[in-house]
């Protein structure tokens, strides 16, 4: 369940996932191009202490691989692990700092590495105790020394509450963090004030000089005022680009910030998303957890933009469909199968990255909830 991808040393593909064969504990596999097989990285299930949610991985500049997650075995707190294959008895993921790095829940964490190999981690900083449902809490971004485990909250913990009207409590979700080549750190999140039915979307930039966050655009970001399932990427110029599912109308939308302004420009038209699950709120996403997902979204080294969600194929199955932006031609389904992956069976929990600069790669869960449930990974040439 909820697989994610990362490029390891030499461009090798790594896939992290919740392993239902091991009571939902975290496992990681590496793709061997020579054999054409996926091989376990470390011992299966040792990437978490309990059920493994929202795993994300990143490669630092020395070749070390780090993994973050929301770990049920750590009471829902932030698990940060490093891959260590030197142990003969227990090779795999270790907790280098000996404990979780958050005092409470750490929903939807994201991970980046800066030029000094420090970990930049964003997450929803909620109360203690396990729980997958929405809980009160703002977004926190930590900068972590990987040698000592010393962490510093950029701005302050729960900084997103600074942008809420006085007296309102909120829930942040879909937290994302990206780092530009010049070192600038951006964070994005969706936020819902208790009592409201709509999510508002935010993108902020961190000032190292002022040690605080500043919104890109006005509060609620005008054209980003309502939406869910938010994803953040930076283009080759370091400009924020966001993808999300709009709520009125229900559609996928991609916007690029116009530097030096308070506005965003839309890339292409909306992509219509139909109600596939017959459950309000999950259009285009998993029926058992769509409110937690971010839009599968990536930008390659040539500036080409890819986006995906669940859609009906010609045989009535609900599968992951990918589009690529083709300039004047707009959003076009990717590949010879109308944007769908080869194979058959319902799919959900899609995740997109770009491998080797220009190769889109998708992972997803196939045949969810059945005895044939599996993680599949495809790359497009």
Which domains, ranges and CATH numbers included, belong to the chain? Answer: 4-379 (2.120.10.80)
Structure tokens at 116: 């000094």
Pairing relation of β-strands 138-144 and 151-153? antiparallel
Within 8 A by CB and 6+ apart from 167, the residues are: none
Describe the strand order of the beta sheet including 25-32 as a list of residue ranges: 4-7, 13-19, 25-32, 37-40
Mean pLDDT of the chain: 88
Residue 95 CB neighbour total at 10 angstroms: 16
Give yes or no for a contact between 250 and 283, defined as CB atoms under 8 angstroms apart.
yes
Summarised one tens digit per residue, pLDDT across range 236-251 is: 999 999 999 887 778 9
User: Is the omega angle on the peptide bond into residue 70 within 30 degrees of 0, that is, cis?
Assistant: no
pLDDT in tens for each of the 381 residues of the chain?
A: 789 999 988 889 999 999 999 999 999 999 999 999 999 998 899 999 999 999 999 999 999 999 999 999 998 899 999 998 777 666 789 998 888 888 888 989 999 999 999 999 999 987 766 655 556 788 999 999 998 889 999 999 999 988 877 766 677 888 999 999 999 999 999 887 655 556 788 999 999 999 999 998 754 454 456 788 999 999 999 999 999 988 777 899 999 999 888 788 999 999 988 755 554 446 788 877 777 789 999 999 999 999 999 998 888 889 999 999 999 999 999 999 999 999 999 999 999 999 999 999 999 999 988 889 999 999 998
Summarised one tens digit per residue, pLDDT across range 191-228 is: 876 555 567 889 999 999 999 999 987 544 544 567 88
Pairing relation of β-strands 271-272 and 264-266? unpaired
């Amino acid at each position: 369940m909820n697989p994610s991808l990362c490029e390891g040393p030499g461009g090798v593909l790594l896939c992290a996932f919740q392993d239902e064969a091991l009571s939902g504990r975290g496992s990681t596999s590496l793709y061997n191009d020579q054999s054409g097989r996926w091989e376990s990285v470390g011992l299966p299930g040792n990437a978490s202490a309990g059920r493994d949610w929202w795993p994300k991985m990143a490669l630092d500049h020395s070749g070390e691989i780090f993994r973050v997650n929301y770990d049920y075995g750590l009471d829902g707190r932030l698990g940060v692990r490093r891959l260590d294959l030197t142990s003969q008895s227990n090779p795999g993921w270790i907790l280098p700092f000996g404990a979780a790095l958050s005092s409470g829940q750490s929903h939807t964490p994201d991970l980046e590495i800066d030029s000094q190999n420090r970990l930049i981690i964003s997450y929803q900083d909620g109360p203690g105790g396990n729980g997958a449902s929405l809980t009160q809490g703002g977004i926190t971004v930590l900068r972590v020394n990987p040698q000592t485990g010393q962490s510093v909250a950029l701005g302050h913990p729960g900084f997103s509450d600074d942008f809420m009207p006085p007296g309102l409590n909120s829930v942040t979700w879909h937290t994302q963090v990206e780092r530009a080549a010049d070192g600038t750190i951006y964070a994005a999140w969706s936020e819902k004030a208790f009592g409201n039915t709509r999510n508002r979307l935010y993108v902020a930039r961190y000032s190292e000089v002022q040690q605080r966050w500043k919104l890109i655009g006005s509060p609620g970001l005008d054209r980003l005022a309502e939406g869910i399932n938010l994803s953040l990427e930076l283009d080759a110029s370091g400009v924020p680009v966001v993808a999300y599912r709009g709520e009125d109308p229900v559609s996928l939308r991609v916007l690029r910030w116009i530097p030096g302004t308070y506005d965003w420009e839309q890339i292409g038209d909306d992509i219509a998303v139909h109600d596939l699950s017959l459950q309000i709120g999950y259009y285009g996403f998993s029926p058992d957890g769509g409110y937690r997902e971010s839009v599968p979204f990536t930008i390659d080294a040539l500036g080409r933009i890819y986006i995906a969600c669940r859609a009906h194929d010609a045989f009535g199955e609900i599968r992951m469909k990918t589009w690529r932006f083709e300039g004047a031609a707009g959003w076009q389904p990717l590949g010879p199968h109308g944007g769908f992956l080869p194979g058959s069976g319902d799919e959900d929990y899609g995740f997109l990255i770009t491998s080797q600069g220009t190769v889109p790669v998708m992972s997803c869960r196939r045949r969810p909830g059945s005895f044939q449930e599996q993680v599949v990974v495809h790359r497009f040439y």
